[in-house]
Amino acid sequence: MRRLTVSFVILAAATCLYCAKEPAPRVVFSCSPENDLYQVVQANGIATARYDSPLEAVTAAPEGAAVLILADGYPEQKTPVDSTVYRLWAQRNLRLYVEFPAALPGGKTGRIHRTRWERAVVT
């Protein structure tokens, strides 16, 4: 249930990123081909590109594109993102979403916490 809720929130964010600017830029994914969000987007006919690594995704993304770097190892492993990815993101005016990042430029991510009850309400 948690994975489904997280996937729904990410899908909503991806939709907002996709529709925010006219003409709509491409959506580029960095994830495994089995990622549930990626599969939902593909099943709905949204034009996307998928790459195995974050660096490949930001390098291939057209300027202004939405890049989603998804956590394939959630919740056991944070998503590793090289500082080069963040540098390219800024240079190329990309809209970047990193799910469960291991590091952020100029910030901390903290340790992994387990929770008992989780709930998300999207209206």
pLDDT for 110: 81
Burial (CB count <10 Å: 0-12, 13-18, 19+), residue 57: buried
* DSSP state at residue 96: E
pLDDT for 111: 82
Q: Where are the domains of the chain?
A: 2-98
Q: Give me the tens of pLDDT residue by residue for the chain, a chain 123 residues long.
A: 566 565 655 656 666 655 554 444 589 999 999 999 999 999 998 889 999 999 999 999 998 899 999 999 888 889 999 999 999 998 999 999 999 999 888 877 888 777 777 777 776
pLDDT for 2: 65
CATH class of 2-98: alpha beta
